[in-house]
Amino acid sequence: MYDFVPGKVDWAARGLPVEGANAGKPNAGNLAQRDVATCSVDETVGAVQQRAADKGGVCVVVNEQRIVFGVLRDEQLGGSGDAVVADVMRRGPSTFRPHVAAKEMAEYMTKHNLSSAPITTADGKLVGVLFRDVVMKATENDS
């Protein structure tokens, strides 16, 4: 017997096909932007600003294993370019698993006024960033 340890969340997070009632429905994973700006804690805001601007205006702070430590959004990216990421980042942002339904994400992001949210695997590795305008558009016809 074999145990596929990462499980179906990891499988779906990689964009691999799945079956079932929710298989064709939009969720955090299939709506997330995969090509996102990332940076490390020891970089400066100035070094990250253009990178973030090119990829949706947000930068996810990760380590070498792409484990999420924080996020830089408008407020942090608009600050002093000499500031070190570790000192200004929003630590421990709310993260979501790829299988979370788009409707649930839309409701949460609206309620908490989140413009974006990191999508991660269960062990915290970055999958992508879900932008609120994308998930709102995907759910606009849902009742």
Interface residues with other proteins (CB under 8 A) are 1-12, 14, 16-23, 97, 99, 121-123
- In whole angstroms, give the CA distance from residue 19 to residue 22: 8
- In whole angstroms, give the CA distance from residue 59 to residue 69: 11
Find the shortest distance in angstroms from Cβ 141 to other proteins.
21
The tokens of 69 are what?
Answer: 């430590």
Which residues are 54's β-sheet partners? none
Question: For other proteins, which is the closer residue by CB, 7 or 78?
Answer: 7
Find the shortest distance in angstroms from Cβ 112 to other proteins.
23
Burial 67-106 (b: 16+ CB within 10 A, else e): ebbbbbbeebbeeeeeeebeebbeeebebbbbbbbbbebb
Question: For other proteins, which is the closer residue by CB, 79 or 124?
Answer: 124
Find the shortest distance in angstroms from Cβ 14 to other proteins.
6
Question: For other proteins, which is the closer residue by CB, 1 or 35?
Answer: 1
Find the shortest distance in angstroms from Cβ 19 to other proteins.
5
Question: For other proteins, which is the closer residue by CB, 22 or 50?
Answer: 22
